[in-house]
Copies of this chain bind each other. A is one copy, B any other.
């Protein structure tokens, strides 16, 4: 299994991506070949600085990279040899089984969707986040910003994509799916939510448990919470800000750390032809390690193939 790691992305490169690669190699061992993509001399000196042997990794050299402030569409088009473009290109060519980057989120999304293409039947690839819930498990919130204006059909597709991910990669049998809404009654919500509720209720391929509210997310009242990307992004960033409140008052507590999204890795973009994992810019070494493991698990469990099968006969 070959997983590519963007060393030139995120707020703390090359340090955090290199640390994450070293950690992932230690935990995954021989099962995986890690391909570090970026400036070769930077990568080698950072590996040595962190006490790792460059021989343990493959390196794909490129001096070009997309910055956090680059305009996504423009940068992906202009910087053909950027680490993100090379990584996605290798996934498309089949020379990587997956690629991860904590870099420019928009650029990763554009490169993945343009470079890999949608799985047939998927209208809108989507991104979610796994957040630790009060049961000690994880709930998946999706979409968190890839799709801001959504129709009911899109919400239904997000639910199907998340369902496959939680079942096949996270390993939750028959995950519960809720529509994030402003009340439990089917008549509650905006037009897209009301219509999506009706469609979700009819599906026999989802364990849809109905509408849940904002207060149900942290307690983990469902495994999957579906919403449009405008709402999801605002909820996610609001949740992140809890950490600042907690860290300033209860520094080091486990509860505070549960809200520390620096510890979390990203999840794959769901619905594209290949495995591409986007992480937070602030991802630390542990988060990068988690992203690499996520890409590995997604590849091992043939995520794109399973999505393809599920969407071969999609109708909303």
Q: Are B189 and A148 in contact (CB under 8 A)?
A: yes
Task: Tell me how many residues of A have a C-beta within 8 Å of chain B.
Answer: 40
CB distance from A49 to the nearest CB of B (A): 32
Contact B237 A234 (CB under 8 A): no
Decide: B217 and A241 in contact? CB cutoff 8 A: yes
B255 touches A240 (CB 8 A): no
Across the two chains, which residue of chain B brings its CB closest to A255? B249
Closest residue of chain B to A106 (Cβ to Cβ) is B183
Query: Pick the contact of A235 from B148, B189, B234 — CB < 8 Å?
Result: B234
Contact B180 A234 (CB under 8 A): yes
For A253, list chain B residues within 8 Å (CB).
249
Q: What secondary structure prevails in chain A residues at the interface with B?
A: helix
Q: Can you list, as one digit per residue, whether each of A217-261 has a CB less than 8 Å from chain B (1) or not (0)?
A: 111000000011111011111111110111001100101000000
Q: Contacts A235-B235, A250-B250 known; A182 to B214 CB distance under 8 Å?
A: no
Complex-state Cα separation, A193 to B241, whole angstroms: 22
A149 to B237, CA, bound (A): 22
Interface pair A235/B233, CB less than 8 Å apart:
no
With beta carbons under 8 angstroms apart, the residue of B219, B227, B235, B245 that contacts A244 is B219
* A182 CB contact (under 8 Å) in B145, B215, B217: B145
A27 CB within 8 Å of chain B: no
- Sample 9 A-B pairs with CB under 8 A, ordered by A number: A181-B234, A214-B236, A218-B241, A218-B244, A227-B234, A231-B231, A234-B235, A245-B255, A249-B255
The answer to whether A190 touches B244, judged by C-beta atoms less than 8 angstroms apart, is no
| Minimum C-beta distance from A11 to chain B (A) | 15
Given contacts A189-B148, A253-B249, A255-B249, contact A215 B241 (CB under 8 A): yes
**Which residues of B lie under 8 Å from residue A134 when comparing CB positions?**
244-245
Contact B217 A238 (CB under 8 A): yes
- Say yes or no: B234 contacts A190, CB within 8 Å: no
Interface status of A213 (Cβ within 8 A of chain B): yes
* CB 8 Å contact bits of A160-193 with B (1 = contact, 0 = none): 0000000000000000000011100000011101
Indicate which residue in B190, B215, B229 contacts A237 across the interface (CB closer than 8 Å).
Answer: B215
Evaluate contact between A238 and B250: CB separation under 8 angstroms: no
B228, A182: Cβ atoms closer than 8 Å:
no
Contact A238 B239 (CB under 8 A): yes
User: Which B residues lie within 8 Å of A148 (CB)?
Assistant: 182, 189-190
Q: Bound complex: CA of A257 vs CA of B253, how far in Å?
A: 18
Give, as a whole number of angstroms, the nearest-CB distance from A143 to chain B.
11
Cα distance A63–B233 in the bound complex, in angstroms: 46
Instruction: Given A214-B237, A238-B239, answer yes or no on A228-B149 (Cβ-Cβ < 8 Å).
Output: no
Question: Which residue of the partner chain, among B149, B217, B239, contacts A190 with CB atoms under 8 Å?
Answer: B149
